[in-house]
Amino acid sequence: MSVNSRVADLCGRSKEFLIELPLSELLQEIPDDRTESVLCTTLHSITSSKKQVLVAAGRYQSTIVYYILPLPADYHDHSVITSDIDRDHFLGISGKSPVMQEVYNFIEMAASTDSNVVVLGESGSGKELAAAAIHQLSRRQNNLFVRVNCAALTETLLESELFGHVKGAFTGAFKDHFGKFEYADKGTLFLDEIGEITPSMQAKLLRVLQEKVITRVGDNREIAVDVRIITATNKNLRQLVSKGVFREDLFYRLNVFPIHLPPLRERKSDIPLLVDHFISKFNAKTGKKISSCSHDTMRIIMAYCWPGNVRELENAIEHAFVLCKGSEIQTVDLPHELRVAVVRDGICAERKAGLEPTIHTSLIQPMVQNRFEMTKETIHDAITRHNGNKSAAARELGISKVGLWKKMKKLGL
């Protein structure tokens, strides 16, 4: 038996001492306060594949103990301790709103089975993070999580990427190539943008799901694979099925357990938490010491609809980090288009309701008053918002009326 440093530290003994002990005696070396109820350990058999098991003294031989963790009393056959996971930052997913707590519950349920899962949600909503969380909580966690973006590859390249190829299968195939199914054996294969694959690829994927075997391109030999499939899409697969674009039999194979990720506009209470998370992330990345956003900045962030979801919010905070020179992100540090959209939508909504606009146009004054930001579209939108009133448009843009006329003439407006 071989023992690593973590187990030695836990027992307070040297590896040389512990390595000579039978597994039953090794467990007795663990302090009493670390042996609550059962102990979970990853046992790697020297003669067989990895297995996630509960310790039973004398049950396994020729094993390597990699780690030992105390389990809570309500352990129900999970391979990791889920009760200690931060429910505000769930395995990389930030959100404490009720709708996200429900998503976390679905992720835990999906992780407890080996059924196929499809993660549904708009672009930028965190579908890959959800898929990775399912893998991390599952019995396959110690094997690979392999991601493939189905929309980024042509059909020929996608087939080779998924199933591999043999030497000479096509021009440029100078050697045998393992496919992602083989890499993900005993692990999880995440197929992003599954709605983009062609009917031909759908048929080949269906065969793998049914028969658990793959055939490399240019070969006729079948290779057995044990892979858990998680797919994701921002499209309505049922509609694609009804249109004849997506195979119905494949849809039902993949859609065993769907998980819907809400768009950011439907969980705005999570935005401050996400902002803090991204500020911490970019502080570490850039070496800056930004603490927060100003009150007006958060007003804009909370008012924006975020069509690009969490990914767009992350990009906006990163943009702000480039411009921010103090310890607090100001409105002018946010992307100009974002500020314009917030004020435009707010003014339009108030006018539609027959109210006088209360949104402060000063919130969208250009961060740098130069010709690069004064595009035709920016000026045209400002004039349109003010029903042709160029004085009001100039005030919104942070320039004089004469300056606006000059820019309009220069841009041919």
pLDDT at residue 58, as a whole number = 35
pTM, entire model:
0.68
Do residues 230 and 189 touch, judged by C-beta distance below 8 A? yes
Do residues 134 and 230 touch, judged by C-beta distance below 8 A? yes
Task: Centre a 10 Å sphere on the Cβ of residue 60 and count the other Cβ atoms it contains.
Answer: 18
pLDDT at residue 78, as a whole number = 44
User: Between β-strands 222-224 and 213-215, what pairing exists: parallel, antiparallel or unpaired?
Assistant: antiparallel
pLDDT at residue 36, as a whole number = 37
pLDDT at residue 357, as a whole number = 53
Do residues 346 and 303 touch, judged by C-beta distance below 8 A? yes
**DSSP secondary structure code for residue 165 in this structure:** B
- What CA–CA distance (Å, rounded) separates 54 from 12? 22
- What CA–CA distance (Å, rounded) separates 66 from 28? 17
Give the alpha-carbon dihedral of 209, 80, 89, 309, to 10 degrees: 0
Evaluated on CA atoms 254, 256, 260, 261, the torsion sign reads negative
DSSP annotation string for 100-128: HHHHHHHHHHHHTS---EEEE--TTS-HH
Domains of the chain: 2-70 (no CATH), 89-260 (3.40.50.300), 266-411 (1.10.8.60)
The residue to which tokens 């105390």 are assigned: 70
Question: Which residues in the chain land under pLDDT 50?
Answer: 1, 33-83, 366-372
Nearest to 186 by CA among 222, 215, 220, 224: 224
pLDDT at residue 52, as a whole number = 36
- What CA–CA distance (Å, rounded) separates 267 from 269? 5
pLDDT at residue 46, as a whole number = 34
pLDDT at residue 404, as a whole number = 84
In the chain, the percentage of residues whose pLDDT exceeds 90 is 54
In which element (H, E) is residue 210 found? helix 199-211
In which element (H, E) is residue 382 found? helix 376-385
**pLDDT tens-digit readout, 223-276:** 999 999 999 999 999 999 999 999 999 999 999 999 999 999 999 999 999 999
**pLDDT tens-digit readout, 38-69:** 343 333 333 333 333 333 333 333 344 434 44
The two three-digit tokens of residue 373, written as one number: 């930001």
**DSSP secondary structure code for residue 333 in this structure:** G
pLDDT at residue 373, as a whole number = 53
- Which alpha helices (DSSP H) does 264-369 contain, by range? 271-286, 295-303, 309-323, 336-352
pLDDT at residue 16, as a whole number = 64
